[in-house]
Amino acid sequence: MKRVILITGTPCIGKTTTARQLAAKVNADYINLTDFAKTYNLTLGEDKERQTTIIDEEAMQQKLGEIIKASTNGNIIVDGHYASAVTPTDQVTNVFVLRRNPKELKEFMQKCGFNDAKLNENLSAEILDSCLIEAIQTQQGEICELDVTGKTVEENVAEILDVLEGGKKCGVGIVDWLGMLEREGITDQFLKA
């Protein structure tokens, strides 16, 4: 049976570096959804206001399903913040939702040059569990929420491998960024209208 592993989470969380290193460790086919959309012309245009590409999710799901089915590799890793929404549910075995403390994530986004609107949108998505909720609502495979705050890519990959090999149990509900920010009295610094 094929193992189809989704690596998802908000932008700047560490998805791509983690997914690539994991793919190398398990000799997996690696699919980066941004590159995949460009390669197969699965875009509908650009949202200039939000500075993002609009994906044809239906067409992407169909093409992704075809590629996964045709692959002869026993391991396939799909990397993208919308991976849960576009990967056919019946093909997915594991979903790893990477989470990062919003204080650390904000620093990473600033270093990457995110403008204020994009930074605030993505911080809100992380604080409000958007990628996790999407995974829970759309996928049937095992869903693992991993707090990657302060960890190296190697540590994250080791933790994922431990889960995949049955050495570690995982689940959801381990992160509560909103509660943390409320307890610290700094919610308004991270959730902007």
Paired sense of beta strands 3-8 and 94-99, if any: parallel
153-184 pLDDT, tens digit each = 999 999 999 999 999 998 899 999 999 999 99
Query: For helices 153-164 and 15-26, what crossing angle results, to 10°?
Result: 50
- 5's enclosing H/E stretch is strand 3-8
- Band of the pLDDT at 52, cuts 50, 70, 90? confident
pLDDT tens digit string along 112-123?
988 888 899 999
From the number of C-beta atoms within 10 Å of its C-beta (0-12, 13-18, 19+), residue 157 rates as buried
Rounded Cα–Cα distance for residues 142 and 79 (Å): 16
What is the pLDDT averaged over residues 103-117?
A: 91
Q: What residues pair up with 27 in beta bridges, in sequence order?
A: none
4 touches 64 (CB < 8 A): no
Is a pLDDT exceeding 80 seen at residue 50?
Answer: no
Instruction: DSSP for 31-84, please give it.
Output: EEHHHHHHHTT-EEEEETTTTEEEE-HHHHHHHHHHHHHH---SEEEEE-TTHH
The span from the CA of 157 to the CA of 19, in Å, is 8
Mind giving me the DSSP string for 107-157? HHHHHTT--HHHHHHHHHHHHTTHHHHHHHHH--SEEEEEE-TT--HHHHH
pLDDT of residue 47: 74
Residue 193 pLDDT > 70: no
What tokens appear for 151 in the block? 């960890």
With 80 as the cut, is the pLDDT of residue 53 above it?
no
Contacts of 4 (CB under 8 A, 6+ apart): 68, 76, 78, 87, 91, 92, 93, 94, 141
Between residues 192 and 34, which one has the greater pLDDT? 34
Q: Which of 80, 85, 86 is nearest to 98 (CA)?
A: 80
State the residue for tokens 């700094």.
186
- Model pLDDT, residue 115: 86
Query: Does residue 87 surpass a pLDDT of 70?
Result: yes
pLDDT at residue number 17? 97
Percent of the chain with pLDDT over 70: 98
Mean pLDDT of 12-25: 97
Written as six digits, the tokens of 67 are: 């590629």
Compute the mean pLDDT over every residue in the chain, rounded to the nearest whole number.
93
